[in-house]
Chain A
Amino acid sequence: MAASPMDQFVTLSSALTGIASGILAPGIDPIDIKQTYFDTAQQADPTVFGQLLTIVANNSTLPPQQLADLVLQQSGDDVRFLARAIMLAWYLGNWYDPGDLKLYAGPNPPPTPIAFRVITMNAYTKGFAWSVAQAHPMGFSTNIFGYWSAAPPSLTDYIGSGA
């Protein structure tokens, strides 16, 4: 059976972010943040989003890092910066316009901070930057009193392995 567009999106997201698919899209997933990001990216640029999923579909046997490299380095600016916007969504819960990302990645970035929006409250509290820091989103801890005085679980516990 061919992978669904959502499966392709998760495969792509995992390859790009380095976070395991099962962490990005757990089996029991009441918040379903992947759907939020899928919809946000698709609405931002339906054509390029379709290209992204096609790249995944056509390269289903590639190891994750090669898939990421193909998307980010060999598929043109439109694909590259939409992919980066998706990565930033997963990590920060924010949406950055791919065109802005291109502008700020260039040799003469604007002096003002890049514009963005917080996608949803759940997007904020599901931001994976905090997981990679072996921490939690500021203002959203599920830990218990005193946890901060002992070492956190391993990075693998937060982001899985074999992305």
Chain B
Amino acid sequence: MSQSQTQVFDAVIVGAGISGAMIAWQLGLKGKRVLIMEAGDPLPPNVNDYMQRFYLATAKVPEIPYTPALMDSTGLVDPGTMNAPRPTVLTLGDNWKDPKQAYLDQVGKLPFASTYERVSGGTMRHWLGTSLRFVPHDFTMKTTYGRLVDWPIGYNELERWYGDAEHAIGVSANKADQAYHGIAFPPDYNYPMPQIPLSLVDQAVAAKVDGMELDGEALTVTSTPAGRNSQPYDNRRVCAGNTNCIPICPIQAKYDPSVTLNKALDTGNVVIWGNTVASNVAVDGTGQVRQIDYIQYATAGGPATARGCVTAKVFILAAHAIETPKLLLMSKNEGRTPNGVANSSDLVGRNLMDHPIYLAWAQMPQPVFGYRGPLSTAGIETLRDGIFRKDRAAFRIEIGNEGWNFPIGDPYTTVMDLINGGNVSRLNPGGKALSGQALTSAMNAALSRQFRLGFLVEQSPEPGNRVTLSDRVDHLGLPRPRVTYDISDYTKQGFVAAKRAADAIFAKLGAKQFTAVAPGPAQFTFEGETFGYFGAGHIVGTYRMGGNKTDSVVDANQRSWDHPNLYLVGSGTFPTVATGNPTLTIAALALRTADAILASGL
């Protein structure tokens, strides 16, 4: 007997990430009975297994601690043999089109470089913690600059929920630092905790860079609002600076959605079914969603163990911006929704975006002692807005505290060079193999002066950048996502400006630059310059919100225009990727949608 026949739910949520957790918690508090279906594993009792996998992994990439395990003794596990496979940055090299290694069926000109998780807690298991609000002009790009599109809501309408989200996550920040480009707070508002202290790297950058100008905007280093504890908060301890926010905070000083999932469970009204893959959204003749069909399994690569369906009054798809459109497109309803559910606009799957990152790295003239503190504690936010947005993409600059770990995998690369006589790092130009005190001196000089800047470029929405269904399947026989991706000239102009900014900042710091383009497909040539790019893990746009049913998939409450009891939540509803990391806005919108669902009389 399937579980659905024994339980009755007010709401069914697909996906146990931040959006699903926030909405389940809010509905559960109000006595609504909620089921969360999670395709991946259920909540573990602690992070010990994740930490063990991380410590022993040869590739300490964002996805590596989580399940199902990406690697076995022979290498990457074939995603076609897994019931809930997901992408990994390990398939962004020459193997990016290899169906035995890469889960996504990438058919575009360029690889989509961001990944996501299918596990309880979702992709935020390995978020950095950055909790920036968007700036007001992020919501009004068309009106203000004649570019991109407007959102159907603005900063002022979202402001209240930004505050709620900051308290639900537990954000450490300095309000005065965050009041730029029109970001405003109610006079009596305070962040839950004081800011995270600036690192020595931040302090060194600020000492020289504050007051510089670029394209009419002053550069100012400010502390970054962070979903990590600067004081004990929410029964979690303070950050100990493990320098490992991505892939995993070992002490959960950094928020992750398991915190809110546990609060949802504590209401007594929420249940989570792990290893339960939603396979169809069933719509009746009146346009109401009636049920969600699912397939269950017991082990990562084992057979299906149950199939069933579950009914409710309200359905919320919270499976992030690639699996949600995939599920919608899969759901044809015997021809009643031939283009998929919620897709009368033909916009489901389109306008896939990211913050492609221009990564620049250098050595300071003096030690700045990276590899200490949270991965990032400050950035330069003043370039997020300006009249230049008429002509090119804006960006924020993230200052990294992890040396050259992100750019070249240090300290491993440099240590290997110094001991085995190589020069992959370009910090050992003579290629000499060292030992003894000569080794420790050279290693200390090399590692202690490293730092990097990440430029998160606002990618323009393009209908051709899209998620569709592949004819490749996973182990349950469900289609895998097909992704078509490219980067527009508007966005590439942002990279040109980012390079200009990096060059100017490094020159001002007297830092020796080592930025280089790594081999592989994630690169493009524009105006005579070749740029490499990285994914930011910010997957956005594939079921955008808007003002009417022809220009969007959902309304400002993230409610489907086509199906009144269906909500599509998460960053897939963002009309633009904007200039801040998306999580805080995802959470704010989820809380706002929870209020809308409750107000609708559920």
Binding site for B on A (CB under 8 A): 15-19, 64-65, 68-69, 72, 84, 87-88, 91-92, 94, 101, 104-105, 109, 114, 116-118, 120-121, 124-125, 129-130, 132-136, 138-152, 155, 159, 163
Nearest CB on B from A45, distance (A): 17
**Does A141 contact B437, Cβ atoms closer than 8 Å?**
no
Would you give the 0/1 interface string for B364-389, flagging 1 where the beta carbon is closer than 8 Å to chain A? Answer: 00010111111001000000000000
Least Cβ–Cβ distance between B435 and chain A, in angstroms:
4
CA distance in complex: A18, B441 (Å): 9
Q: Which residue of B lies closest to A141 (CB)?
A: B242
Chain B residues contacting A140 (CB-CB under 8 Å) are 242, 250
Please determine whether B435 and A117 come into contact, CB atoms closer than 8 angstroms. Answer: no
Take A92-B412, A124-B56, A141-B241 as given contacts and tell me if A132 and B443 are in contact as well, using a CB distance cutoff of 8 Å: yes
Tell whether B507 is near chain A: CB-to-CB under 8 Å. no
In angstroms, Cα B415 to Cα A19, docked, is 14
| Chain A residue at minimal CB-CB distance from B441 | A18
Q: A118-B56, A129-B411 are in contact. Are A18 and B438 (CB under 8 A)?
A: yes
B198 engages A149 (CB within 8 Å): yes
Are A146 and B197 touching (Cβ within 8 A)?
A: yes
A135 engages B371 (CB within 8 Å): yes
Shortest distance in angstroms between B49's beta carbon and chain A's nearest beta carbon? 12
CA distance A140 to B371 in the complex (A): 11
Give the CA-CA distance A32 to B415 in the complex, in Å.
Answer: 23
B residues 398-446 in Cβ contact with A at 8 Å: 401-403, 405, 411-412, 415-416, 419-422, 433, 435-440, 443-444
CB of B96 closer than 8 Å to a CB of A: no
Contact of B239 (CB < 8 Å), options: A64, A114, A136, A145: A145
Contact present for A147 and B58 (CB under 8 Å): no
Contact of B369 among A92, A121, A151 (CB under 8 A): A151
A72 vs B436: C-alpha distance in the bound complex, in angstroms? 11
Please measure, in the bound complex, the distance between the C-alpha atom of A146 and the C-alpha atom of B196, giving whole angstroms: 8
Besides A18-B436, A129-B415, 14 new A-B residue pairs in contact (Cβ under 8 A), listed by A number: A17-B436, A72-B435, A88-B416, A92-B411, A105-B421, A133-B369, A133-B411, A134-B448, A141-B240, A141-B241, A142-B240, A143-B372, A145-B239, A148-B199
Give the complex CA separation of A128 and B47 in angstroms: 25
Q: Is B54 part of the contact surface with A, judged by Cβ < 8 Å?
A: yes
Known: A138-B60, A141-B241. A18 touches B197 (CB 8 A): no
Give the chain A neighbours of B412 by CB distance below 8 A. Answer: 92, 94, 129
- Bound Cα distance A117, B448 (Å): 26
Output the least CB separation between A112 and chain B (Å).
10
Which A residues are CB-close (under 8 A) to B443? 129, 132-133
Q: In the bound complex, what is the Cα–Cα distance between A87 and B367 (angstroms)?
A: 24
Q: Which residues of B216-269 have CB atoms within 8 Å of chain A's CB atoms?
A: 230, 238-244, 248, 250
- CB of A41 to closest CB in B, whole Å: 15
B205 to chain A, nearest CB (A): 14
**B433 and A84 contacting across the interface, CB-CB below 8 Å:** yes
In angstroms, Cα B433 to Cα A87, docked, is 12
Question: CB distance B436 to A65 under 8 Å?
Answer: yes
> Smallest Cβ distance from B448 to chain A, in angstroms?
6
Q: In the complex, A128 Cα to B56 Cα: how many Å?
A: 17
Q: Provide the bound-state CA to CA distance between A148 and B375, in Å.
A: 11
Report the separation of the CA atoms of residues A160 and B72 in the bound assembly, to the nearest whole angstrom.
Answer: 39
> Which one of A88, A120, A139 lies within 8 Å of B51 (CB-CB)?
A139
Q: Which residues of B contact A18 (CB under 8 A)?
A: 435-440
Within the assembled complex, what's the spacing in Å between the Cα atoms of A16 and B418? Answer: 12
B212 contacts chain A at the CB level, 8 A cutoff: no
CB atoms of B405 and A138 under 8 A apart: yes
Are B415 and A91 touching (Cβ within 8 A)?
Answer: yes
Chain A residue, CB-CB nearest to B197: A149
A-B pairs, 3 with minimum CB distance? A148-B373, A135-B371, A139-B244
User: Which residues of chain B from 331 to 373 have any CB-CB distance to chain A below 8 Å in the complex?
Assistant: 367, 369-373
B421 touches A118 (CB 8 A): no
Contact A118 B57 (CB under 8 A): yes
Within 8 Å of chain A (Cβ to Cβ): is B200? yes
Residues in chain B near residue A145, CB distance under 8 A = 230, 238-241
Contact A84 B419 (CB under 8 A): yes
Cβ B240 vs Cβ A143 within 8 A: yes
For B447, list chain A residues within 8 Å (CB): 129, 132-133, 135
For B197, give its contact among A15, A117, A139, A148 (CB under 8 Å): A148
Once the chains bind, are B52 and A121 in contact (CB under 8 Å)?
A: yes
Q: What's the Cα separation between A117 and B415 when bound, in Å?
A: 16
Q: Is the CB–CB distance between A65 and B437 below 8 Å?
A: yes
| Shortest beta-carbon distance from B592 to chain A in Å | 33
> Hey, what's the 0/1 contact readout for B72-97 against A, CB within 8 Å counting as 1?
00000000000000000000000000
Chain B residue nearest in CB terms to A65? B436
Contacts of A141 in B (CB 8 A): 240-243
User: Is the beta-carbon distance between A151 and B200 smaller than 8 angstroms?
Assistant: yes
Interface contact A101-B420, CB-CB below 8 Å:
yes
How far does the alpha carbon of A156 sit from the alpha carbon of B526 in the complex, in Å? 48
Sample of 27 A–B contacts (CB below 8 Å): A17-B436, A68-B436, A72-B433, A84-B419, A84-B420, A84-B433, A101-B420, A105-B433, A124-B55, A124-B56, A129-B415, A132-B443, A133-B371, A133-B448, A134-B444, A138-B60, A139-B51, A139-B54, A139-B242, A141-B240, A142-B240, A143-B241, A145-B241, A147-B241, A148-B401, A149-B197, A149-B199
Complex CA gap A65/B436 in Å reads: 6
**Contact of A16 with B200 at beta-carbon distance under 8 Å, contacts A135-B370, A144-B240 already known:** no
Most buried by B among A65, A88, A105, A129: A129
CA distance A7 to B65 in the complex (A): 37
Contacting residues, chain A, for B56 (C-beta < 8 A): 118, 120-121, 124
Residues of B within 8 A of A143 (CB): 240-241, 372
- Docked Cα-Cα span, A135 to B371, in Å, equals 6
Shortest CB-to-CB span from A74 to chain B, Å, is 13
B444 touches A133 (CB 8 A): yes
Is B115 part of the binding interface, using a Cβ–Cβ cutoff of 8 Å? no
B203 adjacent to chain A (CB < 8 Å): yes
The residue of chain B having its C-beta at the shortest distance from the C-beta of A129 within the complex is B411
Q: How far is the CA of A114 from the CA of B404 in the complex (A)?
A: 19
Instruction: Report the separation of the CA atoms of residues A25 and B396 in the bound assembly, to the nearest whole angstrom.
Output: 46
- Bound CA span A141–B243, Å: 8
Chain A residues within an 8 Å CB radius of B60: 138
A residues in contact with B374, CB < 8 Å = 148
- In angstroms, Cα B371 to Cα A159, docked, is 17
A148 and B377: CB pair below 8 A? Answer: yes
